[in-house]
Amino acid sequence: MAEGYVLKASVRDRVGKGAARALRREGLVPAVIYGEKKAALPIAIPIKESTIALHRGGFMTHLGTIEVDGVAHRVIAKDYQLDPVRDDLIHVDFLRVSKGATLTVDVPVHFINEEKCPGIKAGGVLNVVRHTVEMTVPADAIPDALVIDLAKAKVGDSIHISAVDIPAGSAPTITDRDFTLATIAAPGGGAGASDEDEAAEDESEG
């Protein structure tokens, strides 16, 4: 698991749209820390450092530390909002994370060896059905990604979750079927009907 971020924060004593706008003018982002059956803690975090942490990648899958008045809170981001024009953060929801906790997160799916893939070399196209997989994971060992090796994938192949090396202690939340992550479609989109049907089913349910 990659290194997380550390942000210094202050407690917000006012809430609401007017207070949020005032914070943003000061270079701060309104946020809240909740969970673990404790009262929600409204905070303000620095917009520059927070936006850097977001765009560095893994913001929703890496644990972070937020220091509030000298007290460190271990958290994971559960939701955020962006300014539609500037792409800066304008609000973040953080979940408290205790030691030994289990979390539900969307783990990214990464593909390797596309340049070696026999199916792609033959003119096939990688059709990604799921870019992320919802998984239950240990808070102290959140996978950075599920890695799929395409070195032997041929035209018409479907790559299912059973073909992926799942890290110890982690598991997909979908347990009732061996769902599809990607297919190698034939040139011109001539993938097998069963693959297309399965992909459509996964997309509609995912």
pLDDT band (50, 70, 90) for residue 189: low
Mean pLDDT in the chain? 88
pLDDT band (50, 70, 90) for residue 4: confident
pLDDT band (50, 70, 90) for residue 205: low
Q: Which of 130, 142, 139, 138 is nearest to 174 (CA)?
A: 130
Q: Which of 113, 131, 125 is nearest to 203 (CA)?
A: 131
Mean pLDDT for the stretch of residues 134-141: 94
Model pTM score: 0.78
* C-alpha torsion angle, residues 149, 204, 170, 161 (rounded to 10): -30
The pLDDT of residue 148? 96
Position 159 pLDDT exceeds 50: yes
Q: Which residue has the tokens 């992320």?
A: 132
Indicate the range of 11-15, 106-110, 145-149 predicted with least confidence: 11-15
Q: What are 116-127's pLDDT values in tens digits?
A: 999 999 999 999
Contact (Cβ atoms closer than 8 angstroms) between residue 97 and residue 74? yes
Q: Which of 183, 166, 188 is nearest to 175 (CA)?
A: 166
Please give the structure tokens belonging to residue 12.
């917000």
Q: Rounded to whole angstroms, how far apart are CA atoms 181 and 145? A: 13
Q: Tally Cβ neighbours within 10 Å of residue 141.
A: 11
Q: What are 14-37's pLDDT values in tens digits?
A: 777 778 888 888 999 999 999 988
